[in-house]
Structure 1
Amino acid sequence: MGDHTYLTEHLYSTFPPLRDAGGYTLAKSDRGKHLLKIPIPPLGYSIQFLRHEVDIKRAPLYIIPLQRGLTLNTPIEEVCPVMESCLNCEKDFPLFELQGHLHLW
């Protein structure tokens, strides 16, 4: 039976960039696949409000940032490729380049 603060902190811990959105509103999908914004009550969203007033039980909720858009792209971490030694020249190559190297022999 979490209040608005409880619900918001749970959302922030799950999706930290939401903290920078300047608030959020929630929406749900109707059977026609349109998003219906859920009005923000005076005390903010609470689990009780969503379950009883809006009748959300298992339906997905959509979080819409209010003041600032968020990027969903995560930075690509630079990773070291898998290396393998060439049995002919004994040099190490990234595995994805080894096949091209072998065609030279």
Structure 2
Amino acid sequence: MTCYSHECAVHLKERRENRLTMSNQIRAAEFLRKAAEALDAEISATTTTTSCSTVTAPSTIGSAIRSIFTPYNRSNYRPANPRNRTRREPISYWSHRFCLLASSKQITAPTREEKQELYDAGLGEKKITFIKDSYPESFKAKLEEVYPNLIGCGGFELLRSNCGSRVSLEVLKMPSTGFTSIYLANESNLGQALCYIRPIQKDLELHIGSTQEHSEPTESDVTEQCIDCNQMIPLSSLRSHKEICNRTQVHFS
């Protein structure tokens, strides 16, 4: 008897749900019929037929349809709140001139000849653009990307020319968390001065491999063989290569 009552209750529930579903379908069909009638009425009222052409005037078909489906739209519609929209902060950049020194003991600014020598070896002066942020990791990674010689050099420090002299260099104060682009741009005393990078634990070699990396000869270049290292060097950079090559040979002899 209990099982029979349970089955009857389930059956009645299913019939009730079916009736509700059919009722919703009938209502939806009724709304669609009214929408179609509104469309036909608007089209017939706003279309003027002439002997030459048919001109359709602006109508309010969209308003009529929206009014028909108001019971369905208003309950779920929520206007977007502009305060809830997340705004992306614009990315700021900072560009500055840097110069990587080779000697860990250098205390004076390099001469013009020394700057050229540094540049030919992949060091020297370059303009670098950073994302302006407060992350020392990204600042160091960018420097190592531009100056691969910094990788494994045992740390570095930043310097600028002394305010009272263009020759002597002074060390920039570094925060305990490390240098960042936003610190150098806004808080340090670097200003517009050239920023020198000096290795701390060891000197960077002015080896020939770095020179060749920046002056790789092409098929159209006029080349000449270096009598010291037997490498083919573009004639336009042979003199600077020769000076570095001679010093390298003396250093390793």
What TM-score, normalized to structure 1?
Answer: 0.65
Identity of aligned residues (%): 26
- Give me the whole-angstrom Cα distance separating, in 1, the residues matched to 2:175 and 2:157: 10
Q: Secondary structure at the match of 2:151?
A: helix
Can you give the 5+ residue segments of structure 2 that lack an aligned partner in the other structure? 1-131, 223-253
**Which residue of the partner structure matches residue 16 of structure 1?**
148
> Number of residues paired by the alignment?
83
- C-alpha contact 1:18 1:65 (8 A) present in aligned 2: yes
- Give me the whole-angstrom Cα distance separating, in 2, the residues matched to 1:39 and 1:55: 9
4+ long deviations beyond 3 Å:
76-82
TM-aligned CA deviation for residue 35 of structure 1: 0.5
The aligned runs of 1:85-104 (5 Å cut-off) are none
- C-alpha contact 2:173 2:188 (8 A) present in aligned 1: no
**Which residue of the partner structure matches residue 54 of structure 1?**
188
**Which residue of the partner structure matches residue 64 of structure 1?**
198
TM-aligned CA deviation for residue 71 of structure 1: 1.2
1:4 aligns with 2:132: no
- C-alpha contact 2:172 2:189 (8 A) present in aligned 1: no
Query: Which of the two has higher C-alpha Rg?
Result: 2
Q: Aligned AA for 1:63? A: I
Q: Aligned AA for 1:9? A: A
Larger relative contact order, structure 1 or 2 (CA cutoff 8 Å, min sep 6): 1
- Give me the whole-angstrom Cα distance separating, in 1, the residues matched to 2:156 and 2:149: 12
